[in-house]
């Protein structure tokens, strides 16, 4: 039986002004979050302070979408773990495929950020995933296990257990093409097997997760929740997924 608590993480990407953040979170915080499920949102940096204020006593955690590996220094435009901790940020998404593709994030860089997050008491959510071409060529397992091994290289099993992984097939992100639950379950099983400690860590699925596919995905034994993009931007679609996670929490394996 698994003791892994479901986690639903909303990655807002570059959406929501401060005013929009306040509105969405005010609506979300009026709803009771189900027992047994962790829920968190990662707004843009500019809205973190407003989100922190709005989320007090609301049962939803606060995350960031990326961060610097450095505490301070000449890194124009970057945001450090110290600055995030000051804003009560508890979670940080690292190595998202959009960061890797558009901001040249490397496996080594992601690994350094994972260490920095842990050193500052934050939980890294490390994103891994294959492109459509890699998927076609049958390279999915090789790609994601390589990324996972690289991200957690040199960490103790104890440290790895504290982390979260998100398997996000790149071809499924924002496309409406969701992976088959059994297929995602199999890939995540390989990810867990690739790094000591990941068996105990939470691994999420991400990529067009919505209310109508979340239950089937989270019914799979290896899938502990979701990293949600588009569907995290409205209360109704996000809460449908949270409700699906509550079902999973109520039926532990
Ligand atoms: P979508 O849910 O919009 O496909 O995005 C997934 C994602 O990239 C979350 O990090």
Question: Which mutation among 132, 229, 237, 238 tests ligand 1's pocket best, with the greatest number of atoms within 8 A of CB?
Answer: 229
Residues 6+ apart with CB under 8 A from 247: 215, 218
Alpha helices in the chain (DSSP H): 18-29, 48-55, 81-86, 97-102, 107-119, 132-136, 140-151, 157-162, 181-194, 211-218, 235-250
For tokens 């000449």, the residue is: 74
Judged by DSSP in three states, 8 sits in strand
Residue 166 lies in a domain: yes
Q: Which two tokens stand for residue 222?
A: 């290896």
Q: Which of 69, 172, 83 is nearest to 124 (CA)?
A: 69
38 burial level (CB within 10 Å; 0-12, 13-18, 19+): buried
Per-residue pLDDT of 17-53, as tens digits, reads 999 999 999 999 999 999 999 999 999 999 999 999 9
Residue 2 lies in a domain: no
Shortest-distance Cα residue to atom 7 of ligand 1: 229
Q: With a 6 A CB cut-off, is 4 part of the ligand 1 pocket? A: no
Give me the number of domains the chain comprises.
1
Name 167's bridge partners.
128, 205
Q: What is the 3-state secondary structure (H, E, C) of 62-105?
A: EEECCCCCCCCCCCCCCCCHHHHHHCCCCEEEECCHHHHHHCCC
Q: Are 11 and 93 in contact (CB under 8 A)?
A: yes
The atom number, within ligand 1, closest to the CA of 227 reads 9
Q: Are 114 and 124 in contact (CB under 8 A)?
A: yes
Domain that holds residue 115: 7-250
Query: If you write DSSP's letter for every residue of 156-169 in order, what string do you get?
Result: -HHHHHH-EEEE--
The atom number, within ligand 1, closest to the CA of 209 reads 2
Q: Ligand 1 centroid vs 74 CA: distance in angstroms? A: 31
Residue 1 lies in a domain: no
Residue 244 lies in a domain: yes
User: Measured in whole angstroms, how far is the alpha carbon of residue 1 from the centre of its chain?
Assistant: 23
Q: Are 58 and 39 in contact (CB under 8 A)?
A: no
Active-site residues: which are they?
96, 168
| pLDDT at site 75 | 98
Residue 203 lies in a domain: yes
Q: Maximum distance among all alpha carbons in the chain?
A: 49
Judged by DSSP in three states, 17 sits in coil
pTM (two decimals) = 0.97
Residue 142 lies in a domain: yes
Per-residue pLDDT of 80-115, as tens digits, reads 999 999 999 999 999 999 999 999 999 999 999 999
Q: Ligand 1 centroid vs 221 CA: distance in angstroms? A: 21
Q: How far apart are CA 151 and CA 115, in angstroms?
A: 9
Q: How far apart are CA 11 and CA 64, in angstroms?
A: 8
Q: Ligand 1 centroid vs 37 CA: distance in angstroms? A: 20
CATH number at residue 178: 3.20.20.70
- What tens-digit pLDDT sequence spans the chain (253 residues)? 457 999 999 999 999 999 999 999 999 999 999 999 999 999 999 999 999 999 998 999 999 999 999 999 999 999 999 999 999 999 999 999 999 999 999 999 999 999 999 999 999 999 999 999 999 999 999 999 999 999 999 999 999 999 999 999 999 999 999 999 999 999 999 999 999 999 999 999 999 999 999 999 999 999 999 999 999 999 999 999 999 999 989 886 6
Residue 243 lies in a domain: yes
Shortest-distance Cα residue to atom 5 of ligand 1: 229
């Amino acid at each position: 039986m698994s003791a892994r608590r479901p986690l639903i993480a909303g990655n807002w990407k570059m959406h929501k002004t401060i005013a929009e953040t306040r509105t969405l979170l005010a609506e979300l915080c009026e709803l009771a979050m189900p027992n047994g499920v962790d829920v968190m949102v990662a707004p843009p940096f500019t809205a973190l302070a407003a989100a922190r204020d709005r989320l007090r006593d609301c049962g939803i955690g606060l995350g960031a979408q990326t961060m610097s590996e450095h505490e301070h220094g000449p890194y124009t435009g970057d945001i450090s773990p110290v600055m995030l901790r000051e804003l009560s940020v508890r979670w940080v998404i690292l190595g998202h495929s959009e960061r890797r593709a558009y901001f040249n994030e490397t496996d080594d860089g992601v690994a350094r950020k994972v260490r920095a997050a842990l050193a500052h008491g934050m939980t890294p959510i490390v994103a891994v995933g294959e492109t459509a071409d890699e998927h076609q060529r049958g390279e999915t397992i090789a790609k994601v296990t390589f990324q996972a091994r690289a991200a957690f290289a040199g960490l103790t099993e104890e440290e790895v257990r504290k982390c979260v992984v998100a398997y996000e097939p790149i071809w499924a992100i924002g496309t409406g093409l969701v992976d088959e639950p059994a297929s995602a379950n199999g890939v995540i099983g390989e990810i867990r097997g690739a790094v000591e400690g990941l068996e105990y860590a939470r691994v999420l699925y991400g990529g067009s997760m919505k209310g109508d596919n979340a239950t089937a995905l989270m019914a799979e034994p290896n899938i502990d929740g979701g990293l949600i993009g588009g569907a995290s931007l409205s209360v109704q679609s996000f809460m449908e997924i949270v409700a699906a996670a509550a079902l999973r929490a109520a039926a532990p394996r």
